[in-house]
Amino acid sequence: MTAYTATVTVRLKSGVLDPEAETTQRALERLGFELSDLRSADEFEIDLDADGEEEATERVTEMTERLLANPTLHDYEVTVRER
């Protein structure tokens, strides 16, 4: 078994309202920052042992699809690296 760290980034799909990002964007603009858009995201780091990177990716993807992300509302990205 090899130790891996997976990073899962979950963000709302395009077109889904993101009130947290909208509020933050307005606050940044009031502070004088110019930006065309802002999106919020959640990031999870998961440490796990697996027989290979492919197995680690499959397990983390299953975790993400079952709990961390709602496929109707979210897009997600999984990256895995050896720890």
The whole-number pLDDT of residue 68 equals 98
The string of DSSP codes covering 4-73 is EEEEEEEEEPTTS--HHHHHHHHHHHHTT---S----EEEEEEEEEESSHHHHHHHHHHHIIIII--TTT
Provide mean pLDDT across the span 50-56: 98
> Which structural domain range is residue 61 located in?
2-82
Of the candidates 52, 70, 59, 67, which has an alpha carbon nearest to the alpha carbon of residue 78?
A: 59
Structure pTM? 0.89
Reported as a single tens digit per residue, the pLDDT across 4-49 is: 999 999 999 999 999 999 999 999 999 999 999 999 999 999 999 9
Tell me how many domains the chain contains. Answer: 1
Query: The domain spanning residue 54 has which CATH number?
Result: 3.30.1280.10
In the three-class reduction of DSSP (H, G, I as helix; E, B as strand; rest coil), residue 83 is classed as coil
The whole-number pLDDT of residue 35 equals 96
